[in-house]
Structure 1
Amino acid sequence: MIINKRKGSPWALLPLAVFLVVYLVTSIVLGDFYKMPVSVAFLISSIVAICMNKNESISNKAEIFCKGAGNVNIILMCVIFILAGAFAQVAKEMGAVDSTVNLGLSILPSNILIAGIFIIGCFISLSIGTSVGTIVALAPMAVGIAEKTGSPMGLALGAVVSGAMFGDNLSQ
């Protein structure tokens, strides 16, 4: 009887090494281990791990990753949430949130802005099919509108969540 033993490769430890290097080096440079989120280092090392196998398609790699990490639907939802959060932060840093708020304030009267936020949330959620992505993308703008107009913050965020859930239910 012939038993084929497959030898492991030291390259399999590359994602772990990337995780440790990113986390430790960034934490040491910043001088504080709490300033570097572990989830960011994990995301970077996960991307390295997914990019390592060139024989599989990206969609197959993502499915294998999600199955290995847990329930496919839950992990995919977490990935969408992380990427939506990254999008919202990038949009805020490049000034897109402020410019969108100012555009909305110049077009709509302040007494119908909350209703406008709800309708925009409905359309975005209906278009992209995810309420979480809509909430993360639209919430910073709603906060900016509420701050500039003096509207209640809870009402603006409630309009975002309500519009996102409404559009998400219609898109299914």
Structure 2
Amino acid sequence: MAAICVFCASSRTLDQRYLDLARFTGEEIGRRGHTLVSGGGCVGMMGAVADGARAAGAPTVGVIPQALVDLEVADLASSELVVTDGMASRKTAMIDKSDAFLTLPGGLGTLDELFEVWTTATLAMHTKPMVLVDSEGFYRPLTEWLARLTGEGFIRPAGLDLLTVVDSVPAALDAIEARLG
């Protein structure tokens, strides 16, 4: 099956519904027989998605910079823990190790990862599926802004079409599986 990279928040101060969404995502990845690739942290949504995946029998690959290992937030229970020298090399390793990308709610780091993988796709550096889970309308302001950018010529429609936007985790995994065949 596929190695699915999940981008999501690592904050320790999130509402429980976001942690539940992340854990459900990991469980669903495991139930469907996939491998989870994550940012290698054991806190926030990142920790919850990895715990959920392992609970459902999925192998987990964590990719984390040494600086975060030093802060003792590494997911030491990962099947494989890849330690990088920085955030840029972390993103490169996550892209290389993944067949598809699923983005859950998150902040600056999550958006950075989404835009990195999306930008490289628009430059034809990969053709891997990318799905944004707009749970409870979390990303609605962003998708409206991106549509505006497209309308004003800053983003080509074909570039916008590379990102699939859905409202649930099952729909996200269905979209990924359909693309990967």
Larger radius of gyration: 1
> Which category of TM-score, normalised to the shorter sequence, fits these structures?
under 0.3
Which structure is higher in helix share?
Answer: 1
If the length of structure 1 is used for normalisation, what is the TM-score? 0.27
Which structure is higher in strand share?
Answer: 2
